[in-house]
Structure 1
Amino acid sequence: MRFKKSLKYLFFIGFIGVLSFLYGFTSKRNSTKKVTAVRVSFQENKRNFLTQEIVNKLLIQNNKTVVDQPKSVIDLYGLEKKISENPYVEKVAVFLTIGGVLKSKVKQRLPIARITGNGTSYYIDKQGVKVPLSLNYSARALLVSGVDSAADIQLILPLIFAILEDDFLQKEVVGIIKSDANTFQFSVRSGDYKVDFGTLDRMKIKFSMLKAFYNTTFKNKTIQDYKMITLKYHNQVVCTK
């Protein structure tokens, strides 16, 4: 009985030794393999601001491309950090396959508005992060003026979301002007008139009143008679011809 136990113990030790040897051999062999290729993919297949060539140029280590470098020396975290520092990148994942292909999955920032004024122009995304203009891509976005600070951006984000989440408003409102008093005016697609929205209080009520007003004036074709549609007064739409 004792002999059988000893035999099982020796067999177990030998088995562990073989596994350790195979693991070490495989790890050493894998570490000497080189990166064979680079593959870049964009989330939802949208390239927009970035191209594969632009991302490939960021996949540089030791002042040269990662292709043909040993897998063991590739700093995946460093490459991810370098790509994520690009202002158009929201999120990135870089990893190596067993076959030696270095893959990068990139999610780009989605512009929701274009801020203009004071001799500058840039986009903002849904987090309010500034995104510079690009020669590669021009995004269709709400034009916003009168925004001068990060606090202004955070103030206007709920208004932008409310417009973009409504199919009709998204098509109708093309521009937003913010005043120093934190009141807002819209430029619209359907005519030369303006919409004086006032402050951002009671947004849902104001948009409901505006859409009801549109529904009536579009039907009787009187919408073009007005130069200003004012929503800042309590529960009423005031128009100026």
Structure 2
Amino acid sequence: MKLFNLTNIRLVIMLVVVAFLFSFTSKRNAARKLAKSEVIFVGDNAPFVKQETVNKLLIENKKDASGIEKDKLDLNKLEKAVNAHQMIEKSEVFVSIDGVLKAVVKQKTPIARVFDGERSFYIDYKGNRMPLSANFAARVPLVSGIINKKNSKDLSELFREIHNDAFLKKNIIGVQIMPNGSLLMMNRNFDFRIDFGRMINVKRKFKNYKAFFQKAVLDSSLYKYNKIDLRFTEQVVCTK
């Protein structure tokens, strides 16, 4: 019985010591200051937002991260501040084992640039507006005309279709939204206009255009045309 009690006492003492050491270490670690901050961009986009801009959000306008104690950090708050930036789609903010405050950042992906006569802005991959960047200009189709609640969803789907296709992304450089809702498009290397018509049968129209282009480019006949009409889904009509 005495042996049993002694064993229990020793076990309790060991648990108390371990708990004390853990608590002491945790408090000491929390009181330690950060070594630095680091911003990591992921994805294929060039940096539309500068690292310095994200870094300022992380250190909350302090000169550098080395003056910030770990226990003073609210990582959730910092992550929300970074995510609120108009150029950023999402981020993950954390502190590494070696005391570095890190932000892994995914920027928004612009798929079209709109000029409505007064303002210019991007449409991102999710169909939302995105401001222009002073740091980098994206090579995306330039869109003129009016975008409103009625046509914004269909236009976003059309822009995504262009962005996701290597051929269309390279060749379609402009989209003009006509007052009646039909679209005129411009090709990068040729002077002809593409009469796309209304935003119906989008995939089929682009498929027809790609098939026509790949055939016509072989005999150099593309230089002869002023307009390529895609309104009729069963055929492509060319006008000289």
| TM-score (normalizing by structure 2) | 0.90
User: Secondary structure in 2 aligned to 1:196?
Assistant: strand
User: Secondary structure in 2 aligned to 1:39?
Assistant: strand
CA drift of 1:127 comes to 0.5
Matching of residue 71 in structure 1 with residue 73 in structure 2: no
Q: Superposed, which structure 2 residues align to 1:1-241 within 5 Å? A: 2-44=1-43, 47-61=46-60, 65-241=64-240
8 Å CA contact 1:59–1:65 kept in 2: the answer is no
User: Secondary structure in 1 aligned to 2:66?
Assistant: coil
Unaligned runs of 5+ in 1: none
What amino acid sits opposite 2:30 in the alignment?
S
8 Å CA contact 2:140–2:169 kept in 1: the answer is no
Residues 7-60 of structure 1: CA distance to partner in whole angstroms, max 9, x if unpaired? 332233222211211111111211221122111211148552122222222224
User: Secondary structure in 2 aligned to 1:112?
Assistant: strand
Structure 1 pair 47–3 and aligned structure 2 pair: CA distance change class (3 A) = farther
Identity percentage of aligned residues: 37
What amino acid sits opposite 1:9 in the alignment?
N
Counterpart CA distance in 2 for 1:83 and 1:159 is 30
CA drift of 1:89 comes to 1.0
Residues 84-108 of structure 1: CA distance to partner in whole angstroms, max 9, x if unpaired? 1111111111112233221121111
CA drift of 1:133 comes to 1.0
Counterpart CA distance in 2 for 1:138 and 1:168 is 20
CA drift of 1:151 comes to 4.5
What amino acid sits opposite 1:134 in the alignment?
S
Counterpart CA distance in 2 for 1:62 and 1:137 is 24
What amino acid sits opposite 1:101 in the alignment?
V
Unaligned runs of 5+ in 2: none
8 Å CA contact 2:45–2:109 kept in 1: the answer is no
CA drift of 1:240 comes to 2.1
8 Å CA contact 2:46–2:136 kept in 1: the answer is no
User: Secondary structure in 1 aligned to 2:121?
Assistant: strand
Q: CA RMSD in A?
A: 2.1
CA drift of 1:182 comes to 2.6
Aligned pairs, number: 240
